[in-house]
Amino acid sequence: MSDIEIRYAQTDNEVIAIHGFLCVVAGPTLPGPIDPKDSATEVWRVVNHDVALMAIKDDKVVGTIGLVRPQFWWNSKINFLANRWFFTLPGSGSAKPLLAEAKTIAKASDLELHIYDENRGRLLILNKSKKRHVPRWITDIKFDNKQRLGNEPAAMAAERCLL
C-alpha cells in the first residue's frame, strides 16, 4: 500500500478523472441529479481558473477538493478561499492531506479558508483573520437553562440557538 500523494490538477485527463470521481463518490449524496455538461464544465473551470487538488493512492484518485476565491458579501475587495467540492473515498485517509494542502494555500495567499461540509451542514473556517471576533450580542444570548455562551465562536453560538 502506497502513501497518498497530493497533486494539483492541470490537464484535461485530470479534469476527466476528477469529474468521474465526483460523479461516483459525490453523486449519491447530492440533493439532485448531476447534469453531465454543467458538472464537467465546472470541474474544468476550477482546474483552469482556480485550484483543484487530487489525492492519489496506487495511481487512483481517492479524494479531491476544488478551491475557489469568492468575495465576501459585505466587501467585494476582500476575498477568501472556499471549497467548491470536497469529497474523499471513505477509509482512504485522504481528507487530512487534502485539507492540509488547502490550508497551506490559504496561508500563502493570506486568505481565510471556508470549508463547507454538505453532509453535516457545517462550516469550518481555517486561517481565520485576526480581525474576526464574536459580536457582543452573541455573547449575551441567554438560554432557558440560564447558560451563557461566553466567548464561543459565532458558528457554535448559532448552532446552539437552533437546538
Confidence at 7, pLDDT banded by 50, 70, 90: very high
Q: Does pLDDT of 56 surpass 90?
A: yes
Instruction: Locate the domains of the chain by residue range.
Output: 5-111
Q: In a 3-state reduction of DSSP, which class is residue 64?
A: strand
What are 108-117's pLDDT values in tens digits?
Answer: 999 999 999 8
The whole model's pTM is what? 0.79
Contact of 114 with 83, CB cutoff 8 Å: yes
CATH 3.40.630.30 fits 5-111, yes or no: yes
105 three-class SS? helix
